């Protein structure tokens, strides 16, 4: 029974972590009130149950008979379990002990099996280590455990009631009021089981809502960091990645190079062929860039016809070689339209290597200045920052 009360309290603590979700707050508050009520009810059942067991044991100990010493010894052993709130394991031991007392009260005596000691606690099943779960799932698991414990507890009470009936018929030791209290306790446990079932349904519904909200939030987060046309990271996604790489460099210094690539005369493509062809050109460039660069490189569409390449563990020479490969791939590539074939435009690029302690804005500015010089010097060329 102490385990049941602890389960309710732990579940209340788990539910408190969900208060950060505004959409769930009213539901959680209602669940917490219900659990507080169930906890008080469970404690009341515990007190009544202890009263029943103590009264029963006292009457059994005072019973005269040829085996009175054995009965008193057995009662004393069981009374040790009542010095604290009994667990479910204690209930099993009490049930077993009452059965032993019943055998002592009638001839012929029933001997215990060799090595059997009343008061030994059953060994519980070995549980595997718990996996990391969400607060809602943890609360749901607790309710499920509490339901199982409550069912086990109710079963133990029913068995003890049967034992009381047998003892009553044999020796008339239990008063009618004691039997009625036990029946009320069992009825209360059944009501508690119904309330736990309702609470479990509420938690299942809440878990489903949490999963749906989490998926929607993740989808919205991905959209906010991704360019819809090319599927590459957008400006926001790129800036976040630069912050991560710069933070890593403060712990483990290594080269970090950034290149800004701008498609030459892209406006003429849109004006002459239309924006649909322009979009095809942008997607073709995105495909070529992803084909050349490594998985841990970051390729982003920074806006318009500009792409930014963030190259960790790469110096300026390595970046220039990679850009040369891009030039070779795009030189012979065309975009097929319904009426004609359009060759991919050339590109200009500016390259800069990160300097320790400089701001991200300065890092981008130096690469942008190199790109500006490439355009000023006739386009279709690559310049490096000073």
What is the per-residue pLDDT for 139? 59
Contacts of 195 (CB under 8 A, 6+ apart): 34, 38
Residue 100 lies in a domain: yes
Same domain, yes or no: 159 and 286 = no
Whether cis (ω within 30° of 0) applies to the bond prior to 108 is yes
What is the per-residue pLDDT for 299? 96
Task: Find out whether 178 and 48 touch, Cβ atoms under 8 Å.
Answer: no
How many other β-carbons are positioned within 10 Å of the β-carbon of residue 134?
15
Same domain, yes or no: 31 and 95 = yes
Same domain, yes or no: 205 and 259 = no
Count of positions (residues) in the chain: 386
245 given a catalytic annotation: no
What is the per-residue pLDDT for 368? 96
Give mean pLDDT in consecutive 10-residue pieces for the chain, a chain of 386 residues. Answer: 55 54 55 62 67 68 68 74 68 72 58 42 46 60 64 64 57 54 69 74 74 74 84 93 93 94 95 92 95 93 94 95 94 85 95 94 96 96 93
What is the per-residue pLDDT for 166? 59
Q: Residue 328 belongs to a domain with what CATH number? A: 3.30.70.270
Same domain, yes or no: 240 and 347 = yes
Same domain, yes or no: 245 and 164 = no
Same domain, yes or no: 296 and 181 = no
Residue 124 lies in a domain: no
CA angle 309, 314, 319 (to 5 degrees): 55
Number of domains in the chain: 2
Domain boundary among 196, 220, 244: 220
Domain boundary among 161, 187, 220: 220
Same domain, yes or no: 162 and 273 = no
Residue 241: closest CA among 292, 289, 312: 312
Residue 92 lies in a domain: yes
Residue 167: closest CA among 95, 266, 85: 95
Same domain, yes or no: 274 and 189 = no
Domain boundary among 220, 243, 258: 220
Residue 213 lies in a domain: yes
Same domain, yes or no: 62 and 185 = yes
Same domain, yes or no: 151 and 296 = no
Residue 141 lies in a domain: yes
Same domain, yes or no: 320 and 254 = yes
Catalytic one of 24, 95, 100, 305: 305
Same domain, yes or no: 299 and 254 = yes
* Rounded distance between C-alpha atoms, residue 14 and residue 260, angstroms: 49
- The domain of 70 spans 2-108+134-220
Residue 117 lies in a domain: no
Residue 129 lies in a domain: no
Structure tokens at 33: 């009130």
What is the per-residue pLDDT for 298? 95
Residue 78 lies in a domain: yes
Q: What sign for the dihedral angle of Cα 142, 145, 147, 149? A: negative
Contacts of 156 (CB under 8 A, 6+ apart): 88, 91, 92, 94, 95
């Amino acid at each position: 029974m102490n385990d049941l009360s602890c389960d309710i309290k732990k579940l209340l603590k788990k539910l408190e972590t969900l208060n950060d979700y505004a959409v769930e707050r009213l539901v959680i508050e209602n669940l917490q009130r219900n659990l507080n009520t169930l906890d008080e009810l469970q404690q009341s059942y515990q007190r009544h149950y202890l009263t029943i067991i103590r009264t029963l044991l006292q009457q059994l100990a005072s019973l005269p008979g040829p085996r009175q010493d054995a009965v008193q010894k057995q009662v004393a052993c069981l009374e040790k379990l009542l010095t604290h709130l009994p667990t479910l394991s204690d209930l099993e031991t009490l049930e077993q002990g009452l059965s032993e007392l019943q055998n002592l009260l009638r001839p012929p005596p029933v001997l215990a099996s060799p090595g059997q000691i009343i008061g030994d606690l059953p060994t519980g099943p070995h549980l595997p280590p718990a996996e990391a779960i969400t607060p809602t799932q943890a609360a749901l698991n607790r309710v499920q455990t509490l339901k199982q414990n409550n069912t086990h507890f109710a079963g133990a009470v029913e068995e003890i009631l049967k034992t009381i009936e047998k003892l009553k018929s044999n020796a008339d030791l239990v008063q009618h009021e004691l039997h009625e209290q036990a029946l009320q306790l069992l009825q209360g446990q059944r009501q508690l089981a119904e309330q736990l079932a309702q609470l479990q349904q509420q938690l299942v519904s809440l878990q489903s809502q949490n999963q749906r909200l989490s998926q929607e939030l993740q989808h919205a987060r991905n959209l906010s960091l991704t360019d819809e046309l090319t599927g590459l990271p957008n400006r926001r996604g790129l800036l976040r990645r630069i912050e991560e790489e710069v933070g890593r460099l403060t712990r483990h210094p290594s080269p970090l190079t950034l290149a800004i690539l701008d498609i030459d005369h892209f406006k003429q493509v849109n004006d002459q062929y239309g924006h649909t062809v322009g979009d095809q050109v942008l997607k073709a460039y995105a495909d070529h860039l992803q084909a050349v660069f490594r998985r841990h490189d970051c390729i982003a569409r920074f806006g318009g016809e500009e792409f930014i390449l963030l190259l960790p563990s790469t110096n300026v020479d390595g970046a220039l070689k990679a850009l040369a490969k891009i030039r070779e791939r795009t030189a012979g590539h065309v975009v097929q339209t319904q009426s004609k074939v359009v060759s991919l435009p050339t590109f200009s690029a500016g390259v800069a290597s990160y300097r320790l302690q400089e701001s991200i804005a300065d890092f981008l500015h130096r690469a942008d200045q190199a790109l500006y010089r490439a355009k000023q010097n006739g386009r279709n060329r690559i310049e490096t920052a000073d």
